[in-house]
Amino acid sequence: MSVLIISIPLVLIFSFAMYSQGYFEVFSPEPKISLTNVTIIPEDNTCNVDFTLENAGNADGFAVIELRFGTANNLIEQNRYLIKANTIKSNRISTSAVPPQYCDLQQTVLIIARIEKG
């Protein structure tokens, strides 16, 4: 009886450690989406942001991307992109809402706000 009482917490701790390291991903695969190759190109009164989304996971997923600018990180645009499992997708955001003086990598920020299962 005491062996059972001691072994149950040990199995739970071991299972949690294994799950946190991704060993049980076979049962519940997760998308692993990253944002790469961000370039910002000012053209006339438009700010073009080119970027790549890569899903290295074994599940489809959505990436919610936010475009922000200025010292206050003002939210300009928020888009949701579907990225299939094990794929790379190039995208572009074009907006006239970013003033030309902020259309550069130092003052315009593109981030993944959250990742959702597809």
State pTM to two decimals.
0.75
Number of residues assigned to the chain: 118
Cβ atoms of residues 35 and 63 within 8 Å: yes
Q: Quick one: 109 exposed, middle or buried, by C-beta within 10 A (0-12, 13-18, 19+)?
A: middle
- Separation of alpha carbons 40 and 48, rounded Å: 6
**Which of the following CATH numbers is that of domain 31-117: 3.40.50.10490, 1.10.10.10, 2.60.40.3230, 3.90.1580.10?**
2.60.40.3230
C-beta atoms surrounding 67 within 10 Å: 22
**pLDDT tens for each residue of 31-82:** 999 999 999 999 988 999 999 999 999 899 999 999 998 888 889 999 999 9
**pLDDT tens for each residue of 13-23:** 776 666 666 56
